[in-house]
Structure 1
Amino acid sequence: MKTIAIVAKPHGDRVRPLLEEMISFLTERGVTILKEKRTAEVLGEKVYNTDNEIREKSDLVVVLGGDGTLISAVRILGMKETPILGVNLGRLGFLTETRASDALATLKSVLDGDYRLERRMKLHSHLLEEDEKVLEIDVLNDLVINKSDVARIIEMSLYINKVLVNEYRADGLIVATPTGSTAYSLAAGGPIVHPSLETMVITPICPQGLSNRPIVISDDSEVEIRIKTGNEKVSITFDGQIYRQLDTEKTITVKKASTCTQLIVPKDKNYYALIREKLGWGGVQC
């Protein structure tokens, strides 16, 4: 790994010392360093590398921040499957698993070729208006259809492989990857799905019918959601970062993306220990 990009989000006084220490370490190893715009801002520098440079030139992307920062790095990489090392400076950190205190030691191991990769499934989504694509995007976590008016509910039809599954009247609907199963879907009552699996989780948000429960489907399924907005204001959010207001009736199609995200994780990772820690099971607090 000769060229490493760093994507850092400002987190008070915690980021800059670690960032400077990391840059010094990489420079001594003869590594070319690419700095995303926010990374340069943390260092007080005006020169930075563009998203395209990071996407095309980097052999590794190091993220200093939380899960949201890592997801922004995934968006920068686009179709590229460049490995990502996430250093947790946020709170929960389901994706940024490496502790700040272990960052340099982990980075050294990676440069020495001693690391473990996890492939994470992504979803590919089309937003259609009158059968024409108006937006096409990949997500690592989820896409969320949600009401914008407080007192309204949304009417939606869910089809899987062209077969009608359900007509929803609800506050919204979430389509999540296994990685995203511990995000908004979990808060809405969805199941925890091991991230090594390749499935889709469909979770209604506060459905009017109490029998409408979350479902898990295979990764070769094609999901179609037809939204009947009427006079209600409806929005759709992709990975919590890309937002669109839907002011007319639209159709959203979702299927497994053709590329994945590759995360560098601790070699001794125990997913169930991570869940216990992050969710506070058995009295364990994160």
Structure 2
Amino acid sequence: MKNIAIVAKPHTPNIKDITEKIINFLMSKNKRILLEKRAAEALCVDNYHSENEIRDSADLVIVLGGDGTLISAIRLLQEKSTPVLGINLGRLGFLTDTKIEDATSTLQEVFSGNYMIEKRMKLDVLVKNKYNTTFKAQVINDLVINKGALARIIDIDVTVDNLFMNTYRADGIIISTPTGSTAYTLAAGGPIVYPTLNSIIVTPICPHALSHRPIVLHDTSKLKLKVKDLYDKVFITCDGQEGKKMESGEEVYVEKSNSFANLIVTKHHNYFTLLKEKLGWGRPNA
């Protein structure tokens, strides 16, 4: 690991000092630093490396921020399998679970080879109309189809492997990876799925029928979603970071991606401890 990219969340309290501390540590290890644009902004400098440079050259990406910042770093890497280490400057941090006070000691372990890689599955998303593809994306967490603020309840047909599954009458629907099971899906009543499993989770948002429950599908499943009677504003959003307004005649196709996100965790990492810490399991009234 010679070339180390840094992605930081600007405007976070003390982010300049934190970033400088990490850079000083890396320089003491004779590492080459690749500053992503937001990291340069955090340092108040003008020079930064392009996304293409980081994608092509980085041996490791360090993310200083919350889960949203880490997701954006994974999206920057696209199909690349470059390992990513998240250092949590956010609030919840299921993906960025290294605490800032443990940052340098964790990096020392990583450079000593004392770490593990967790492969997290991603989903490929295609939106098509009768003639062509109108939108495509990859997600590490989820894609969401939901109605606008003033729209009526929508009906969404879901087909799995060319077999009709259900018409969900709801405010919307979430298609999630196991990594995303602790994100929006969890808030909508979906299950917590161990993050290194390969599966696809379908969770309706505020369904009109109590019988419409979340379902966990095999990772080889290929889904097709179509909003019926698209008379109101309906949007598709991917990882909460990009999306579009759905147009009449469009259908959404979802399947497991061929590429993975590679997250670095230390050998003492314990997912259940993480759940206890983040969700307050075991505390009174938790």
In which range does the TM-score fall when normalised by the shorter chain? Answer: over 0.9
Give the letter for the 2:277 counterpart. E
Which residue matches 1:223?
223
Question: For residues 186 and 13 of structure 2, what CA distance do their matches in structure 1 show?
Answer: 31
Once the two structures are aligned, what percentage of the paired residues are identical? 50
> Does structure 2 retain, via aligned residues, the 8 Å contact 1:11–1:65?
no
Contact 1:84 1:262 in 2 (8 A): yes
Pair 1:184 & 2:184 matched = yes
Question: Which residue is equivalent to 1:5?
Answer: 5
Query: Which deviates further from its counterpart, 193-202 or 124-133?
Result: 124-133
Do the aligned partners of residues 189 and 247 (structure 1) sit closer, same or farther apart at CA in structure 2, a change above 3 Å counting? same
Alignment partner of 1:91: what SS? coil
1:285 shift after superposition? 11
Comparing 128-137 with 234-243, which one deviates more in the overlay? 128-137
Query: Distance between the aligned counterparts of 1:245 and 1:110, measured in 2?
Result: 42
CA deviations on 1:147-172 (whole Å, 9 max, x unpaired) are 01435111110000000000111100
Task: Give the structure 1 partner of residue 42 of structure 2.
Answer: 42
How much has 1:11 moved relative to structure 2?
A: 4.5
Which shows bigger deviation, 126-135 or 42-51? 126-135
CA distance in 2, matches of 1:213, 1:119: 28
Structure-1 residue corresponding to 2:247:
247
The alignment partner of 1:127 has SS state of: strand
Q: Where does structure 2 lack aligned partners over 5 or more consecutive residues?
A: none
What TM-score do you get using the length of structure 2 for normalisation? 0.97
- Cα 1:270–1:37 change in 2 (3 A) is same
Instruction: Letter of the 1:69 partner, please give it.
Output: T
Shift of 1:106: 0.7
* Counterpart code for 1:270: N
Kindly provide the amino acid, as one letter, of the partner of residue 32 in structure 1.
R
| 1:88 counterpart letter in structure 2 | N
Bigger mean CA deviation after superposition, 105-114 or 196-205: 105-114
| Pairwise CA distance, 1:13 | 2.9
Unpaired segments of 5 or more residues in structure 1?
none
1:277–1:285 contact (8 Å) kept in structure 2: no
Contact 2:4 2:58 in 1 (8 A): yes
Q: 1:116 maps to which residue?
A: 116
Distance 1:84 1:285, change over 3 A: farther
Relative to structure 1, the CA distance from residue 157 to residue 235 in structure 2 (aligned partners, 3 Å threshold; closer, same or farther) is: same
Aligned alpha-carbon RMSD (Å): 1.5
TM-score w.r.t. length of structure 1: 0.97
Question: How much does 1:114 deviate?
Answer: 1.5
Cα distance in 2, alignment partners of residues 222 and 112 from structure 1: 41
1:89 aligns with 2:101: no
Aligned length: 286
Q: What is the alpha-carbon distance in structure 1 between the residues aligned to residue 142 and residue 123 of structure 2?
A: 8
Paired position in structure 1 for 2:137: 137
